[in-house]
């Protein structure tokens, strides 16, 4: 929750509930993409 508030902000900008849901879904997608880019790829050596 702390990470989402830092990246996206503390409040949702749209006034209507459907657009708030859409904004929250986009924010989650963006955070998942950023997290996957920062994860190391592991490979078996032996």
Which sequence spans correspond to the domains of the chain? Answer: 2-7+15-38
pLDDT at 2 over 80: no
Give the angle subtended at the CA of 37 by the CAs of 32 and 3, to the nearest 5°.
Answer: 45
* Overall residue count recorded for the chain in this entry: 46
> What pTM value is reported for the model?
0.64
CA distance from start to end of the chain: 39
List pLDDT tens digits, range 3-46. 767 777 777 777 889 988 888 888 889 888 988 888 888 888 87
Structure tokens at 39: 């994860």
- What is the reported pLDDT for 18? 92
Distance of CA 8 to the CA centre of its chain: 8
């Amino acid at each position: 929750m702390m990470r989402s508030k830092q990246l996206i902000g503390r409040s949702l900008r749209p006034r209507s509930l459907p657009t708030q849901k859409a904004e929250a879904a986009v924010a989650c997608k963006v955070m998942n993409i950023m997290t996957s880019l920062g994860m190391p790829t592991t490979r078996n050596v032996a």
